[in-house]
Chains A and B, each alone.
Chain A
Amino acid sequence: MHTIMDKRLLAPNVYRLEVGAQLIAERRKPGQFIILRVNEESERIPLTIVESDPVAGTIVLVFQVMGEGTRLLASLEMGDEIRDVVGPLGHPTEISHFGTVVCVAGGIGVAPMFPIAKGMADMANTVISIVGARTRELLILQEEIHSVSSEVLITTDDGTFGRHGFVTDALKERLESGFKPDAVVAIGPLPMMRAVAETTRPYGIKTIVSLNPIMVDGTGMCGGCRVSVGGQMKFACVDGPEFDGHQVNYAELANRQRMYRDKEACKIRSLIP
């Protein structure tokens, strides 16, 4: 059992949980994730580890309520317990001295991006962060991302804060003006990561994306999270979740992400009396 030590609402439907998990807190590295199961009936949900405190034995998770599973997780309060938490899973992010690294985060993708940006800054990289959200009130972890970046560009789809437009607009403008970073890391919704990869492709800039397929076990035993990378079948849970953004078959992954859409709807309906 894993106790919820702290719960905060970061934005509408976006929560930050601090959860007791000593072993995971001691070992995790940026880019890794956990799988949790709230109770006996619930499904296994993968979530990136945003931060950890090995002394307190806690990890921080940030999630948006999307369906039944995250709704159940959001219903828990401080002191409540999560039945199962397993991790750290997946390969850690390749963090080394690249030079200049652009961290592009969309929506709550800024949460899993924060430890990576921090890791990159710690390795003496110049970190430029491009953070986008649909609207101003969905911009989260601003203070954190500023603390590890030498420059932060903000975009909102509706223009309520920062630059009006998408993260790729800001990125494209920079690249067109002759700026050539040594690496780009993109985390967010799949269409956004795809757009970032397409933006950097003509410039041949190393681009890392963190894929988010449907997972069950997260240990490499089922292939539910399989993705095509460079024409090869990879399991995101053990071979990833990060891959070369220029090699990913995005259309296939987008299709696989939609596999249980009707079932999700059915589950939500079943909760309405």
Chain B
Amino acid sequence: PERRKPQPARPRQVMPERPPLERNRDFAEVATGFTAEMAIAESERCLQCKKPLCIQGCPVGIDIPAFLRFIADGDFAGSINRLKEDTNLPAICGRVCPQETQCEEKCIVGKRNQPIAIGALERFVADWERENGAVKTPVVSAQTGKRVAVVGSGPAGLTTAGELARRGHAVTVFEALHEPGGVLVYGIPEFRLPKEIVRREVDGLRAMGVEIRLNTIVGRSLTIDDMFAQGFDAVFVGSGAGLPHFLGIPGENLNGVYSANEFLTRMNLMKAFRFPDYHTPIHVGKKIAVFGGGNTAMDAARTALRMGPESVKLIYRRSEAEMPARAEEIHHGRDEGVEFVTLTAPVEFLDDGKGWVAGVKIIKMELGEPDASGRRRPVPIEGSEEIIEIDTAVIAIGNSPNQLIPQTTKGLETTRHGTLIANEATGETTKTGVFAGGDVVTGAATVIQAMGAGKAAAAAIDDFLMKRANAEE
């Protein structure tokens, strides 16, 4: 069809959202997605750059102008098919990627106008495909006869599995929990990423021939050495950073004090918000405090809010400018009613006399010199202690990798932070045939970085397998 001139100066389409005071009482999705008209109008803003910078900003290297061009032409089926040549999980990426620091930050239109809403468009075509029952399984290469084991079904594992299946390798994913998805199912709440969408994208991988073995803990149910003994030719470790950090202050083991991992797992994976229809209980009192300033803290605070308490305070030791959470999530939290208490650190949890948390003693902080992370270091202000009354606390100050796999695998070496030592570009570990990527290598990071690492490792694994196959001939 005759192409219209790009319209970069046209205002960026705004993602429709449910009003804050309606959505903060349920778990349905906050953002409702572009309409077809909005999607076409937005993609018409794209300049179709000859040397697109947006692609460089995408950790999985999606050809963004190519799939946007199909949308602009009104060919949504063409768009999703083009998109799926580069990613297997578009409905997830479109929702949870921090596009403002990735593809959209690089978008040239953003220099003078607002950048193209790439994430919303990716989400639009993925949702369009699902809602129109038009889901097509990507073409898979001829079988190579090589078998790859993938440890963990989070974003890194799922991406690696999809990429390897596409190249004709037989892939088996081992997952410890009863549902695949990793942080996508136990961590990120339903109102940001409906679990039905994760399920459908995982089904897409199964349709490509990926086998998923649930309830299988590598290091206990079987080891990596067992996998090689069973005939796997390579192993990818994408087991994440699931070991929660605690504050190390008195009173932390009182009832009503949760790690964010436990709080979110009970809510998201076990659906405790639907108790007693679902049987897993959770304690959410009237006055909740969440400690931390990252996306996990924001997810926990917004989840707690939906249980209808009197107040949810987010307590962070630096100022809002240093918060690692996405700006969009901070806005969402504030609009929904989360109170931000910054430059404040917990000192001790107080007992109600019956073994439950009744309050937290806090101390005010001021910012000192920048530390190793480049952020200004918070310093306590002497004598500024006070007590905040709370009945539930959620600790969201970070995670590190579980040591079960390195402890049970000879030759797999870790750094002093407990992360696996791996080549940044290829994911190669210190053990031949074992590759790794995602949070288990970087420490807790983002979904899309894990997907990027998975994609890079898949290419390296393919190379490793095919080189060996050629050498054997």
Q: Which residues of A contact B (CB under 8 A)?
A: 23-24, 27, 37, 41-44, 68-69, 72, 83-89, 216-217, 219-224, 226, 228, 233, 238, 252, 255-256, 258-260, 263-264, 266-267, 270
**A residues less than 8 Å from B253 (CB atoms):** 226, 228, 233, 252, 256
Return A76 CB to nearest CB of chain B, in Å. Answer: 15
**Known A-B contacts A216-B265, A220-B242; A86 and B255 likewise in contact (beta carbons under 8 Å):** no
Pick the contact of B402: A84, A220, A258, A267 (CB < 8 A): A220
At the interface with chain A, which of B16-24, B69-77, B269-277? B269-277
Q: How far is B248's CA from A223's CA once the two chains are assembled, in angstroms? A: 13
**Known A-B contacts A86-B216, A270-B276; A260 and B283 likewise in contact (beta carbons under 8 Å):** yes
Q: How far is B300's CA from A222's CA once the two chains are assembled, in angstroms? A: 14
Q: How far is B270's CA from A217's CA once the two chains are assembled, in angstroms? A: 10
Q: How far is B275's CA from A224's CA once the two chains are assembled, in angstroms? A: 18
Q: What is the interface of chain A mostly: helix, strand, loop, or mixed?
A: mixed
Q: How far is B259's CA from A37's CA once the two chains are assembled, in angstroms? A: 22
Question: Which 8 A-B pairs rank lowest in CB-CB distance, beginning with the nearest?
Answer: A222-B262, A263-B281, A255-B355, A221-B242, A86-B215, A43-B280, A84-B178, A43-B279
**Known A-B contacts A42-B279, A43-B279, A85-B215; A222 and B222 likewise in contact (beta carbons under 8 Å):** no
A86 with B402: CB separation less than 8 A: no
Of the candidates A72, A83, A263, A270, the one having the most CB atoms from chain B within 10 angstroms of its own CB is: A263
Q: How far is B262's CA from A37's CA once the two chains are assembled, in angstroms? A: 17
A267 with B216: CB separation less than 8 A: no
What are 6 contact pairs spanning A and B, CB under 8 A? A43-B270, A217-B176, A223-B261, A256-B255, A258-B355, A267-B281
Q: What is the interface of chain B mostly: helix, strand, loop, or mixed?
A: loop
Asked if B217 is at the interface of the complex by the 8 Å CB criterion, the answer is yes
**Known A-B contacts A44-B280, A86-B216, A88-B221; A224 and B255 likewise in contact (beta carbons under 8 Å):** no
Within 8 A of A (CB), among B399-421: 402, 404
Q: In which size bucket is the chain B interface?
A: 35 or more
Return B152 CB to nearest CB of chain A, in Å. Answer: 11
A222 with B259: CB separation less than 8 A: yes
**B residues less than 8 Å from A24 (CB atoms):** 221
Return A266 CB to nearest CB of chain B, in Å. Answer: 6
**Known A-B contacts A89-B220, A259-B283, A267-B276; A217 and B255 likewise in contact (beta carbons under 8 Å):** no
Return A114 CB to nearest CB of chain B, in Å. Answer: 22
Q: Which residues of B contact A (CB under 8 A)?
A: 176-178, 214-217, 220-222, 242-244, 246, 252-256, 258-259, 261-262, 265-266, 270-271, 275-281, 283, 355, 402, 404
B266 with A216: CB separation less than 8 A: yes
Q: How far is B216's CA from A24's CA once the two chains are assembled, in angstroms? A: 10
Add 10 more A-B contacts to A216-B280, A219-B242, A259-B283 (CB < 8 A). Answer: A24-B221, A41-B278, A43-B280, A88-B220, A221-B244, A222-B265, A223-B262, A224-B258, A258-B255, A267-B276
A267 with B262: CB separation less than 8 A: no
